[in-house]
Homo-oligomer: A and B are copies of this chain.
Amino acid sequence: MNTAGTHVTGKNYIGNQLSAKGKKTYTTFNPQTNTENTNVFTEATQDEINQATDLAADAFQVYSKKSGKEKAGFLRAIAEEIENLGDELLTVYASESGLPAGRAIGERGRTLGQLRAFANHVEEGSWLEATIDTAQPERQPMPKGDLRKMNIGLGPIVVFGASNFPLAFSTAGGDTAAALAAGCPVLVKSHPMHAGTGEMVASAIIKAAEKTGMPNGVFSNLNSSGIEVGQALVKNPNVKGVGFTGSIRGGRALYDLAATRPEPIPVFAEMGSINPVVFLPEALNKEADAWAKTYAGSITLGAGQFCTNPGLLLGIKGEGLNTFAQTLAEEIVKIEPSCMLHPNIVGAYKSNKEKALAQKGVEVLANYDGTPKANYGRQIVSKVSGKTFLENPTLHHEVFGPFSLLVESDNEAQIEQILNKLEGQLTGTIVATDKEIAANPNIVSALQNRVGRIIFNGVPTGVEVCPSMLHGGPYPASTDSRFTAVGVDSIKRWVRPFSFQSWPNNLLPNELKNENPLNILRHVDGVKTTDKI
């Protein structure tokens, strides 16, 4: 399958105009067929970047003042236009990711769901955190002026999509939906591995913007196979924030670049994680086989290409752990390998895996030994002692792919020690009986200090999109643990509070007017209410 015969043009969207002024081109790759796709993409030039960022800055002046209802209309129209792309989108998606059809449909559903959740969220209005303290002209010793505060958009946001989620964490993914909901224009640095998928989704956003009367420049999509376009975007003074999903190296480079701007801007990068799982003995003694089967599935899900993949399994020496290890080894090799996203990812998986396995004391527990097709990821589980793991930080790093390391610890205290040595993680899981979890507050505490989400008797894979999801965590799980990348609260990354003092009522935004014309919940003189003033 290739991308010929589709509506993909290979051009950038500079606002609502297709544009290809550059000379540098590239193609995407079909890992299933192990061949280049035929569409040719043209990299954005510095001129095009300047044009797009200027348009975004102008669009911000108009777009940031749109009502929640208008923005919701735009977000819903994007969802509808993505649906209108029909099967062609799924075809291009498959040709650029090697992911199966079911996954494509699921991820599209998730993307549409996110867009619609943000539409509801901005209509509902609590994200504004509208807060009003009315004047007290008689107060002594000084009168108090009228003060009203609400959240407003930061300005144009640059979004770097993820390789492993061509839809849900890319062009119209969570970062984009959150920024558009906040009133911020978006400039997507298109992911080179799925540039065709990206362009199709971009075309849907542009169509939706035109249909719902949004200003030109509210969205742009910029092609790039290297790092220059992304760097130029992050350095551009019109840009006021950055969203990124990907590797620690990539995320940190953008964070550093943004921090050294004359005007530093926030970068929210959601990066790597090994998602430690603690297995306590009583739970394993009871159900070692069942947990082994569950984890064989979680480790290999999507060829292990999830940021919540369980890459570190911590157990305590003994019967239960032996059974678990044996069953895990038996079960995981039964699973058919699946296609990885790109030869580069296959290559990185291979070398990271080899590096881990070459460390002293690391033993292979199970290694799929069939002959998978080109670009299919061979799952592997290895084992090491707690002491060796503690002493070797190389083993603490993520191996992106269907890989997991089982650590045989001496006791609970050693597990606590290991957790305290780990870097920040997206998730931490504890498999335990009710008695065990209650008896090990130190392990729970150590885990909690390191992660953004803690799971009891489950698997870390499967990130629910709902208000109580935290997808982020201490560095390097993210660059700022105060925010989430998933769920409606991810809008907080792209807003700033703003105060109006003694402002004329008729010139206040509707959100803050005495009449409360939008009928939103507000915090007025210390009380949460939808009442007029």
Chain B nearest Cβ from A342, distance in angstroms: 27
**Counting CB contacts under 8 A, is A219 at the interface?**
no
Query: What are the residues of chain B within 8 A of A263 when measuring CB–CB?
Result: 423-424, 474-476
Specify how many copies of this chain sit in the oligomer: 2
Contact between chains at A458 and B501 (CB < 8 Å): yes
Query: What are the residues of chain B within 8 A of A132 when measuring CB–CB?
Result: 468
**Counting CB contacts under 8 A, is A256 at the interface?**
yes
Query: What are the residues of chain B within 8 A of A438 when measuring CB–CB?
Result: 504, 506-507
**Counting CB contacts under 8 A, is A482 at the interface?**
yes
Within 8 A of B (CB), among A132-150: 132-133, 142, 144-145, 147-149
Among candidates B149, B264, B464, B483, residue contacting A145 with C-beta atoms closer than 8 Å: B464
Chain B nearest Cβ from A491, distance in angstroms: 11
Query: What are the residues of chain B within 8 A of A506 when measuring CB–CB?
Result: 438
Among candidates B148, B468, B475, residue contacting A147 with C-beta atoms closer than 8 Å: B468
Contact between chains at B434 and A504 (CB < 8 Å): yes
Chain B nearest Cβ from A27, distance in angstroms: 35
Chain B nearest Cβ from A390, distance in angstroms: 17
Most chain B Cβ neighbours within 10 Å, of A434, A438, A467, A492: A467
Docked complex Cα distance between A521 and B265 (Å): 33
Within 8 A of B (CB), among A285-341: none
Given contact pairs A145-B458, A452-B498, A453-B499, A467 touches B259 in the complex (Cβ within 8 A) = no
**Counting CB contacts under 8 A, is A448 at the interface?**
yes
Docked complex Cα distance between A107 and B489 (Å): 36
Within 8 A of B (CB), among A243-285: 255-256, 259-260, 263-266
Given contact pairs A133-B466, A496-B482, A499-B453, A475 touches B264 in the complex (Cβ within 8 A) = yes
Among candidates B466, B489, B497, B501, residue contacting A455 with C-beta atoms closer than 8 Å: B501
Closest to A492 in B: B482
**Contact size class for A?**
35 or more
Among candidates B489, B499, B521, residue contacting A469 with C-beta atoms closer than 8 Å: B499
Docked complex Cα distance between A255 and B147 (Å): 30
Most chain B Cβ neighbours within 10 Å, of A259, A434, A453, A481: A481
Chain B nearest Cβ from A444, distance in angstroms: 8
Docked complex Cα distance between A313 and B498 (Å): 22
Chain B nearest Cβ from A462, distance in angstroms: 7
Query: What are the residues of chain B within 8 A of A154 when measuring CB–CB?
Result: 481-482
Query: What are the residues of chain B within 8 A of A437 when measuring CB–CB?
Result: 504, 507
Query: What are the residues of chain B within 8 A of A256 when measuring CB–CB?
Result: 259-260
Within 8 A of B (CB), among A163-186: none
Closest to A102 in B: B141
Query: What are the residues of chain B within 8 A of A59 when measuring CB–CB?
Result: none
Chain B nearest Cβ from A327, distance in angstroms: 23
Within 8 A of B (CB), among A99-150: 129, 131-133, 142, 144-145, 147-149
Query: What are the residues of chain B within 8 A of A3 when measuring CB–CB?
Result: none
Within 8 A of B (CB), among A501-533: 501-504, 506-507, 521, 523, 526, 528
**Counting CB contacts under 8 A, is A470 at the interface?**
yes
Closest to A148 in B: B468
Contact between chains at A266 and B468 (CB < 8 Å): no
Query: What are the residues of chain B within 8 A of A500 when measuring CB–CB?
Result: 453-454, 456
Chain B nearest Cβ from A196, distance in angstroms: 28
Chain B nearest Cβ from A84, distance in angstroms: 24
Query: What are the residues of chain B within 8 A of A6 when measuring CB–CB?
Result: none
Contact between chains at B456 and A503 (CB < 8 Å): yes
Query: What are the residues of chain B within 8 A of A152 when measuring CB–CB?
Result: 448
Contact between chains at A502 and B457 (CB < 8 Å): yes
Query: What are the residues of chain B within 8 A of A456 when measuring CB–CB?
Result: 500-504
Closest to A106 in B: B141
Contact between chains at B499 and A470 (CB < 8 Å): yes
Within 8 A of B (CB), among A444-488: 444-445, 448, 452-458, 462, 464, 466-470, 472, 474-476, 479-484
- 18 of the cross-chain contacts (CB-CB < 8 Å) are A61-B445, A133-B467, A133-B469, A145-B464, A255-B259, A256-B260, A264-B475, A437-B504, A438-B507, A444-B507, A456-B501, A467-B523, A467-B526, A468-B499, A469-B499, A482-B492, A482-B493, A521-B528
For the A-B complex with A145-B458, A149-B468, A437-B507 known, give 9 more contacts whose Cβ atoms are closer than 8 Å. Answer: A129-B489, A131-B468, A255-B259, A256-B259, A437-B504, A452-B498, A470-B497, A470-B499, A482-B495
